[in-house]
Amino acid sequence: MGRRISAVAVALYTICLSLPVTFSAHFPRSLSGALVSLNHTVQGRLHAATPIARPCFSWYDHAQVSPDQQACAIVQENYTSPGFRSLHYGNTMNSEWETCMGKSEQCLLDYNNATNPLAYTGTDCDQGSISRYYIEIQDERDLVAAFAFSKASNVPLSIKNSGHDYKGRSTMKDSLALWTRKLTSLSYNKTFVPQGCSVSSSYNAITTGAGNSFQDLYEFADANNVTYVGGYATTVGASGGWLMGGGHSILSPVLGLGVDRVLEFKIVTPDGELRIANECQNTDLFWALRGGGGGTFGVVLESTSKVEPQLTLQVAYFSFNSTATSLREYYEILVNSSVQWSTEGWGGHIIGSTIIYVTPNLALDEAQNSMKNLSDFITAQGGQGIVETLPSWYSFFEKYGIPSQQSVGVLQAIASRLIPKTNFESANGRSQLVDLLVSLPAIYIPVVPPVLFNATRNATSITPAWRDSLWHLISGAVWEYNSTATEIEVMFGVAHNLTLSMRAIAPDSGAYSNEGDVYEVEHETSFWGPNYPALLQIKQKYDPLGLLDCWQCVGWKGSSSKDFECYLPSP
């Protein structure tokens, strides 16, 4: 059972809100009594927010303002840097979620050239989906206060950590935002025992505050001579949406997904309870948090995950300049080799005509032999490549991961499907898959499903399709800062149709809720398979009033809810 904290704070809210303060769905421009009191309760950590590009504009919210040239120059220099964006609340990594597409409100620079003055001269900077107020969360008391405030005022809540979400789930127009990025505690424990469990089950584990990014975790784990299994982007949060939605790593084929490795969550559920969820208490909630998605069951303050000893990794990197003919042959080699590679522990990324793979399960000569067909092909094409041994995850990540970080601030919609092993096992399946690959405008394939990981039955709530798949296939579409609503709708339609073409060759599989079509068909089945009904019951148990909601999340109220007015109509 959880424990009710700060009953005094809750009572305080009830009193303040009974003052004659009316809360429309929109916040007032100036702080009303209830917000002043909320700010007091959270010790001054209620902040006003504007979109990150606002200093460049001469109009904000339809009123003339002075641009701040110095601040604007800093934003322009760093506009596509994930490190810069993650320091601030007022943005998202995929910039359309800063805007309100449904109302054509935006405050964007040109992500291809942030100094392009056409983006910000003579146009309005609109608030879009950026909350006017956010709380910089410090501890559970802030969350108890926020849930009580939302319950009493009907102001919806949103939760933002790193803002990498592809489906717009970390912003919501006119919501009170809860920003978890400053929860940066870290500790390492060689004999971690989940609270309430018997001491005989102890683990080598790291506990992280919900705001830490993978870069923070990798440095900390390396300093403690252990390996933390996490994602590829330095700035994605290790303990937010990544973890609760599944959490893939290129080590996942051998070591499991984030949800397979987590041991405990510390969370405040919407009923105002601080809870510990693990295999020994709040077990239903623990199961739901292992795949049911972020932003749904409460706000996580901290999580603890198993770590591994330092790993010696074999690394394969290949890249070549493709032509239409050579691209098809390359895809054939990848598709023909994938079953064997999956038995050898290889995980990695295929990014068009470049691959980066790693395995902890082979010796160097075995790795070279395993990659021989691909290596011969790349050599014949005049490309580049290497198979080498690196002594740790961190040495691998420094050499290959950090230099290949994607720039952000782009406007994009993605398409994806988990591709089952069976598609690779017949000649017909392989040729269908190759035909699909050559038809896609661009491909990005995280080779990350946990094929060799020995999962405990029903320990997690992700779709079981993850466990039968070899690839998480991704494609997508991009647009420009000045694209019209109609043009944007077309690009979401393109991504949706690409998803349908992937689904056509894998109709009984599923998709990754964190990286997929915004308009996923039958999303409950795609993301959670047979687990959805149990997830919905658990949602109703811990959030009976539906204080948390997000697009295509468990218990979603649907696209017609006012909270989703910024999404464009389904293609």
Ligand X SMILES: Cc1cc2nc3c(=O)[nH]c(=O)nc-3n(C[C@H](O)[C@H](O)[C@H](O)COP(=O)(O)OP(=O)(O)OC[C@H]3O[C@@H](n4cnc5c(N)ncnc54)[C@H](O)[C@@H]3O)c2cc1C
- Sites of contact with ligand NAG (CB under 6 A): 31, 39, 44, 46-48, 74, 77-78, 81, 83-84, 87, 110, 113, 115-118, 133, 187, 189, 191-193, 225, 283-284, 287, 309-310, 319-321, 329, 332-333, 336-337, 340, 370, 372-373, 383-384, 427, 430, 454, 456, 458, 480, 482, 490, 493-494, 497, 534
Cα distance between residue 89 and residue 235, in whole Å: 14
- List, in order, residues 6 or more apart from 231 with CB less than 8 Å away: 214, 242, 247, 248, 249
Closest contact distance (angstroms) between CB of 428 and ligand NAG is 9
For residue 110, give the nearest of 476, 477, 475, 483 by alpha carbon.
483
Q: What part of residues 121-180 is at the interface with ligand X (CB under 6 A)? A: 159-166, 169-170, 180
- As a 3-state breakdown, the chain gives helix, strand, coil percent values, each rounded to 5, of 35, 20, 45
Alpha-carbon distances, residue 157 vs 31, 536, 550, 568 (angstroms) = 17, 19, 10, 21
Q: Is 535 in the site for ligand X (CB under 6 A)?
A: no
> In the set 109, 144, 155, 300, which binds ligand X (CB under 6 A)?
300
Q: Is 423 in the site for ligand X (CB under 6 A)?
A: no
For residue 233, the partner it binds in ligand NAG, ligand X, none, with Cβ less than 5 to 8 A by kind, is ligand X
Buried b (16+ CB within 10 A) or exposed e, 98-134: bbbbeeebbbbbbbeebeeeebbeeebbbbbbbbbbb
Closest contact distance (angstroms) between CB of 514 and ligand X is 4
Binding track, positions 235-254, relative to ligand X; x by CB under 6 A: -xx--xxx--x-xx------
For residue 158, give the nearest of 144, 175, 142 by alpha carbon.
175
Q: What single-letter DSSP state applies at residue 294?
A: S
Closest contact distance (angstroms) between CB of 323 and ligand X is 29
Q: Using the structure block, give the residue that is written with the tokens 């491909």.
A: 443
For residue 231, the partner it binds in ligand X, ligand NAG, none, with Cβ less than 5 to 8 A by kind, is ligand X
Q: What single-letter DSSP state applies at residue 234?
A: T
Alpha-carbon distances, residue 458 vs 254, 461, 534 (angstroms) = 19, 7, 11
Closer residue to ligand X (CB): 163 or 450: 163
The residue count of the chain comes to 571
For residue 236, the partner it binds in ligand NAG, ligand X, none, with Cβ less than 5 to 8 A by kind, is ligand X
Closest contact distance (angstroms) between CB of 423 and ligand NAG is 12
> In the set 231, 256, 420, 555, which binds ligand X (CB under 6 A)?
231
Q: What single-letter DSSP state applies at residue 400?
A: I
Closer residue to ligand NAG (CB): 39 or 525: 39
Cα distance between residue 204 and residue 209, in whole Å: 17
Q: β-pairing, 63-64 with 59-60?
A: antiparallel
The amino acid sitting at 130 is: I
Q: Is 550 in the site for ligand X (CB under 6 A)?
A: yes
Closest contact distance (angstroms) between CB of 85 and ligand NAG is 9
> In the set 42, 56, 93, 313, which binds ligand X (CB under 6 A)?
93
For residue 319, the partner it binds in ligand X, ligand NAG, none, with Cβ less than 5 to 8 A by kind, is ligand NAG
Q: Using the structure block, give the residue that is written with the tokens 């000045």.
A: 482
For residue 515, the partner it binds in ligand X, ligand NAG, none, with Cβ less than 5 to 8 A by kind, is ligand X
For residue 44, the partner it binds in ligand NAG, ligand X, none, with Cβ less than 5 to 8 A by kind, is ligand NAG
Binding region for ligand X (CB under 6 A): 93, 159-166, 169-170, 180, 210, 231-233, 236-237, 240-242, 245, 247-248, 294-295, 299-300, 406, 514-515, 550
